[in-house]
Amino acid sequence: MKNILRRVIVTEKTVKIFKHRQFIFEVDLNATKQEIKSLLEHVFQIKILAINTYRLPSKNLRITNSQGQKTRYKRAIIKIPRNQEIRLFA
């Protein structure tokens, strides 16, 4: 299985939605919802109720005289049932 999962996104905004049983992961740009769901269910041994994905646009960067672009990336928001949990920080 290819490396789909990049990292868990932990910000003030994502910590607020942890209470609603939702978690945000940065995933591979070409990953589909079905691939993400099967990987997370296999790795964390949980059932996923819903999964939403969105792609963030690339941003222009300028450092002194050189210009470039920050790469695009994709995030997946997953929702799990109340009786299950993901041990991210254990």
Read off the pLDDT of residues 39-84 as tens digits, 9 standing for 90 and up: 999 999 999 999 999 999 888 888 888 888 888 889 999 999 999 8
For residue 90, what pLDDT is reported?
Answer: 57
Domain residue extents for the chain = 5-79
Q: Please classify residue 79 by burial: count the beta carbons closer than 10 Å to its beta carbon, then call 0-12 exposed, 13-18 middle and 19+ buried.
A: middle
Residues 12-29 as b or e (16 or more Cβ within 10 Å = b): eebeeeeeebbbbbebbe
Class of domain 5-79: alpha beta
This prediction has a pTM of 0.82
